[in-house]
Structure 1
């Protein structure tokens, strides 16, 4: 059986929303990670315990399926579950429910442990994962591959700032969502919302680097592909599917 479930109520605040009055993707990710940290604390394997090992949790990929975005002022129920793991990878699911109990956002993520010194993936430590009671499997789920979309192109450059860096000493994973969606035309953002997001992280982005974020948007299919790079190095890529608000 998959591991323990954990849920908390969350009131969507004004600073978590955008101009349309709905919660941004980056803020949803921040809240989901907060919920997973709270579960870890409750199980006695919170960030301070992980820090003592010299390791840190890192996300390699998210897939999100969205029926609708939470609204500013709405109280939702945010949940998470460590589903399974093999020797190196963990599947953790997240969900957001409205007040009727309907799931409006469902997310699957893949986590790994990273050595803070070598910045390389580390084998999972039993003492850090056993309390979640997730299934031990030979192979975890393979999330969808990323594909290119042909269409209208746009790009922006961003300097990595001090407050973009988290306690793992690399760019916070939610920041990438801001870089992804800020390249999309305002007309699209005002009239459409993402119903599917598939984002994969390839290379860590470090402090003081210059980031190039590019998008290709197909108006007919309402799909977009995104690439975030530093110089000639592809650091992150994403696919997004859109629907009318």
Structure 2
């Protein structure tokens, strides 16, 4: 059986929304990670316990399927479940339900443990995994591969700032969503919303680096592909599918 489920109510605040009055993807990710941290705390394996091992949790990929975005002022139910794991990878699912109980956002993510000193992936520690009661499997789910989209291109450069860095001493994974969506034309952002997001992280982005974010948007298929790089190194890529608001 998959692992323990955990849910909390959340009121979407004004600073979690954008100009359209809906919750941004980056804020949604922040809240989901907060909920997973709260579950970990409740199970006795919170961030301070993980820190003592010299390791840290890192996300390698998210896929999100969105029926609609939560509205500012709306109370939603945010949930998570550690589904399964093998020796190195963990599948953790997230969901957001409206007040009728309908799932409006569903997310699947892949987590790994990283050695904070060597910056390399570390084998999962039983004492950090067992409290979730997730299934032990030989192979975890393979999330969809990324693909290129041909269309209108745009790009923008960003300097990594002090407050972009989290406790793992690299750019917080939610920050990438801002870099992804800020390159999209404002008219698209005002009139469309993402119904599918698939984002994969390849290389850590460190303090003081300069980031290049590029997008290619196909107006006919309403699909876009995104690449975030530092110099010649591809650090992150994403695919997004869009629908009219």
Shorter-chain TM range is: over 0.9
> CA-to-partner distance for each residue in 1:69-99, whole Å, 9 max, x for gaps?
0000000000000000000000000000000
Match for residue 37 of structure 1? 37
Give, in angstroms, the shift of residue 172 of structure 1. 0.1
Give, in angstroms, the shift of residue 198 of structure 1. 0.0
Give, in angstroms, the shift of residue 40 of structure 1. 0.0
Let me know the Cα RMSD of the aligned residues.
0.1
Q: Which runs of 5+ in 2 are unaligned?
A: none
Give, in angstroms, the shift of residue 173 of structure 1. 0.1
Give the Cα–Cα distance (whole angstroms) in 1 for the partners of residues 240 and 73 of structure 2: 26
Corresponding pairs, count: 245
Give, in angstroms, the shift of residue 56 of structure 1. 0.1
Give, in angstroms, the shift of residue 244 of structure 1. 0.1
Give the Cα–Cα distance (whole angstroms) in 1 for the partners of residues 171 and 210 of structure 2: 12
Find out whether 1:66 has 2:104 as its counterpart: no
Give the Cα–Cα distance (whole angstroms) in 1 for the partners of residues 47 and 96 of structure 2: 23
Give, in angstroms, the shift of residue 240 of structure 1. 0.0
State the secondary structure of the residue aligned to 1:187: helix
Give, in angstroms, the shift of residue 164 of structure 1. 0.0
Q: Which runs of 5+ in 1 are unaligned?
A: none
Q: Which 4+ residue blocks in structure 1 deviate beyond 4 angstroms?
A: none
Give, in angstroms, the shift of residue 31 of structure 1. 0.0
Match for residue 241 of structure 1? 241
Give, in angstroms, the shift of residue 3 of structure 1. 0.1
Give the Cα–Cα distance (whole angstroms) in 2 for the partners of residues 131 and 230 of structure 1: 38
Give the Cα–Cα distance (whole angstroms) in 2 for the partners of residues 124 and 167 of structure 1: 19
Find out whether 1:231 has 2:227 as its counterpart: no
Give the alignment's TM-score, normalised by structure 2: 1.00
Give, in angstroms, the shift of residue 115 of structure 1. 0.0
Give, in angstroms, the shift of residue 53 of structure 1. 0.1
Give the Cα–Cα distance (whole angstroms) in 1 for the partners of residues 13 and 228 of structure 2: 29
Give the Cα–Cα distance (whole angstroms) in 1 for the partners of residues 195 and 129 of structure 2: 31
Give, in angstroms, the shift of residue 108 of structure 1. 0.1
Give, in angstroms, the shift of residue 207 of structure 1. 0.1
State the secondary structure of the residue aligned to 2:173: coil
Match for residue 173 of structure 1? 173
Give, in angstroms, the shift of residue 52 of structure 1. 0.1
State the secondary structure of the residue aligned to 1:174: helix
Match for residue 49 of structure 1? 49
Give, in angstroms, the shift of residue 59 of structure 1. 0.0
Find out whether 1:25 has 2:25 as its counterpart: yes
> CA-to-partner distance for each residue in 1:35-81, whole Å, 9 max, x for gaps?
00000000000000000000000000000000000000000000000
Give the Cα–Cα distance (whole angstroms) in 2 for the partners of residues 71 and 167 of structure 1: 29
Give, in angstroms, the shift of residue 187 of structure 1. 0.2
Give the Cα–Cα distance (whole angstroms) in 1 for the partners of residues 44 and 173 of structure 2: 24
